[in-house]
């Protein structure tokens, strides 16, 4: 039987009222529910709801300890380091929260392959072996062929693990990227609330809610082994998006069990123009979500980027989070020195601007080891 798409699951949860009931249940969580959730790991769907509730703050110490112990048990005392490399900031979408939007007045730049190599070698010299290639959505400036060539180049110069976060593709196009060496595809749904999704994506290919929702299924069908999921925290209701994200991870684990699923937690701190998130997410809500995800998905890599402050990131090292970026820049050509913030436009401001060495020292002070290389690539890819 052909695996169902996640869109079918999403429709079922909304039409049946199951999602609404879950959100309502979250409002009635008691401290007893939280204590009960901690008795069984991985936590159940009900346990997950309890752990993301406001009441869970009263047990945050115990929850954090459980998440820390589980992270060490499954991953050891390690934190993986990766770096995003921006290929292009051209984009045909007009996402309300993103500086790459086509109507934003920024300097545009697409790196040549020679420039991609210069950027890549600079990052190799700093120790990185795990890179995430990022590009705005533009078939003219960053077609699938260009991304494939960039991926192959990164592998050639020494990167062990190459992920992409770009426009979404068909199954056949993902197969092409897999053949070029892509190890992972990151695709954030942004929000699982279709009404909000349509409002913040008024134009461009990304406005197709269903197409984006089924992207992870297409990646898995193409044979790419690792898939990164997440929501842009602040767009939709925190509880609703958290429940749907957890459901999406479970769907991928059930329908595409050969694949690994990582989870990221991007949060809106700043946005172009007068855009302000309707549902801002507090530090305590973010921490609860990270801890709940670790206790629900013990074997998933949990990632926290430099969108967050150094103080919060340091707190979460090893406390559920076991992969972070360091020394990140969010504009094309920023690493090699020709361009910085004054040059090509950045996608979003970086909050944790520490150097890789400073982040490594912070990890060391937590009694953890830093890892530049993703050993998961020793596993055979999906055929």
Q: Can you give the pLDDT at residue 343?
A: 56
**pLDDT at position 373, please?**
67
C-beta of residue 78 within 8 angstroms of C-beta of residue 370: yes
pTM strictly above 0.75: yes
- The residue ranking higher by pLDDT, 273 or 95, is 95
Q: Is 380 exposed, middle or buried (0-12, 13-18, 19+ CB in 10 A)?
A: exposed
R_g over Cα of the chain: 20
- Helix (H) or strand (E) run with residue 83 in it: strand 78-88
Q: What are 80's strand-pairing partners? A: 323, 371
Confidence of residue 341 (pLDDT cuts 50, 70, 90): very low
> Cis before residue 42, ω within 30 degrees of 0?
yes
**What whole-number distance in Å separates Cα of residue 152 and Cα of residue 157?**
9
Q: Can you give the pLDDT at residue 3?
A: 56
| Axis-axis angle for helices 283-296, 60-75 (nearest 10) | 50
Please determine, for residue 377, whether its predicted confidence score (pLDDT) is greater than 50: no
Distance CA 251, CA 245 (A): 10
Phi, psi of 307 (to 5 degrees): -60, -30
For the record, the structure tokens of 34 come out as: 């939280």
Q: Which two tokens stand for residue 319?
A: 């406390």
Chain centre to alpha carbon of residue 299:
16
261 within 8 A of 300, measured Cβ to Cβ = yes
CATH architecture of 6-377: Alpha-Beta Barrel (3.20)
Lowest mean pLDDT among 41-45, 218-222, 285-289, 371-375: 371-375
Tens of pLDDT along 174-226? 999 999 999 999 999 999 999 999 999 999 999 999 999 999 999 999 999 99
3-state secondary structure of 240: helix
Helix residue spans in the chain (DSSP H): 6-15, 18-26, 31-37, 45-51, 60-75, 113-125, 144-157, 171-180, 194-200, 209-213, 215-221, 238-255, 283-296, 310-316, 356-365
Angle (deg, nearest 10), helices 144-157 and 171-180: 20
95-116 pLDDT tens trace: 999 999 999 989 999 999 999 9
Q: In the chain, what are the domain boundaries?
A: 6-377
Name, in order, each residue with C-beta under 8 angstroms of 354's C-beta and a sequence gap of 6 or more: 310, 326, 327, 362
């Amino acid at each position: 039987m052909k695996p169902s798409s996640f869109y079918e699951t999403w429709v079922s949860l909304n039409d049946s009222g199951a999602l609404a009931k879950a959100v309502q249940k979250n409002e009635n969580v008691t401290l007893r529910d939280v204590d009960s959730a901690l008795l069984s790991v991985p936590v159940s769907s009900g346990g997950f709801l309890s752990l993301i509730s406001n009441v869970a703050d009263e047990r945050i110490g115990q929850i954090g300890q459980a998440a820390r112990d589980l992270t060490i048990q499954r991953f050891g005392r390690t934190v993986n380091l990766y770096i995003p490399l921006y290929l292009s900031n051209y984009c045909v979408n007009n996402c309300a929260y993103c500086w790459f939007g086509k109507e934003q007045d920024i300097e545009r730049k697409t790196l040549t392959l020679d420039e991609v190599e210069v950027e890549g070698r600079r990052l190799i010299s700093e120790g990185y072996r795990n890179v995430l290639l990022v590009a705005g959505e533009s078939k003219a400036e960053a077609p699938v062929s260009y991304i494939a060539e960039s991926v192959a180049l990164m592998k050639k110069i020494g990167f062990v693990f190459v992920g992409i976060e770009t426009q979404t593709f068909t199954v056949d196009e993902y197969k092409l990227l897999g053949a070029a060496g892509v190890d992972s595809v990151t695709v954030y749904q942004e929000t699982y609330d279709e009404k909000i999704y349509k409002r913040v994506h008024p134009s461009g290919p990304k406005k197709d809610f269903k197409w984006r929702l089924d992207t992870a299924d297409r990646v898995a069908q193409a044979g790419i082994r690792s898939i990164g999921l997440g929501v842009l925290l602040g767009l939709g209701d925190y509880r609703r998006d958290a429940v749907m994200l957890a459901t999406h991870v479970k769907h991928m684990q059930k329908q595409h069990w050969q694949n690994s699923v990582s989870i990221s937690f991007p949060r809106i701190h700043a946005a172009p123009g007068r855009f302000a998130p309707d549902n801002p997410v507090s530090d305590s809500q973010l921490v609860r979500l990270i801890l709940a995800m670790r206790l629900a998905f013990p074997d998933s890599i949990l990632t926290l980027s430099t969108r967050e402050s150094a103080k919060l990131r340091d707190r979460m090292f090893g406390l559920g989070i076991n992969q972070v970026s360091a020394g990140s820049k969010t504009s094309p050509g920023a690493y090699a020195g020709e361009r910085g913030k004054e040059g090509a436009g950045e996608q979003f401001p970086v909050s944790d601007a520490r150097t890789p060495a400073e982040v490594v020292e912070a990890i060391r002070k937590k009694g953890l080891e830093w890892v530049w290389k993703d050993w998961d690539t020793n596993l055979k890819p999906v055929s």
